[in-house]
Amino acid sequence: MAISGGTAARVEEKLFQNRYLVDAGRPHIKVTPHAVPSDALVALTKVCPAGCYAFNDSGQVEIIPDGCMECGTCRVIAELSGDIEWNYPRGGYGVLFKFG
């Protein structure tokens, strides 16, 4: 059976429906300083649905949590190992889900 494109939206299009209120200068997720990224940190560059994790020019993993949707995936993968520090944003900040 063929799969039709129909009206199904791509994930990127659905994420675009969300809005974020950035708590400037107070990131709610921090990456522990490291020289060489652990396997868990490397994995975060691939699994974060919002693409918050990326390698910098020195090969270390950084996070820009502005588009974080608080799914908790990175928390499950890398918090217990100490690779990241994860907190919810302060009240009033963070993702605002829309249903467009």
Long-range contacts (CB closer than 8 Å, 24 or more residues apart) made by 6-12: 11/49
Q: Which is nearer to ligand SF4, 5 or 55 (CB)?
A: 55
Q: Which is nearer to ligand SF4, 4 or 78 (CB)?
A: 78
Q: Phi first, then psi: what are they for 23, rounded to 5°?
A: -90, 85
Residue with tokens 């939206």: 9
74 binds ligand SF4 (CB under 6 A): yes
50 binds ligand SF4 (CB under 6 A): yes
Number of residues that bind ligand SF4 (CB under 6 A): 13
Partner residues linked to 30 by β-bridges: 85
14 binds ligand SF4 (CB under 6 A): no
40 binds ligand SF4 (CB under 6 A): no
Whether 69 and 49 have beta carbons less than 8 Å apart is answered as yes
Binding site for ligand SF4 (CB under 6 A): 29, 48-50, 52, 65, 68-74
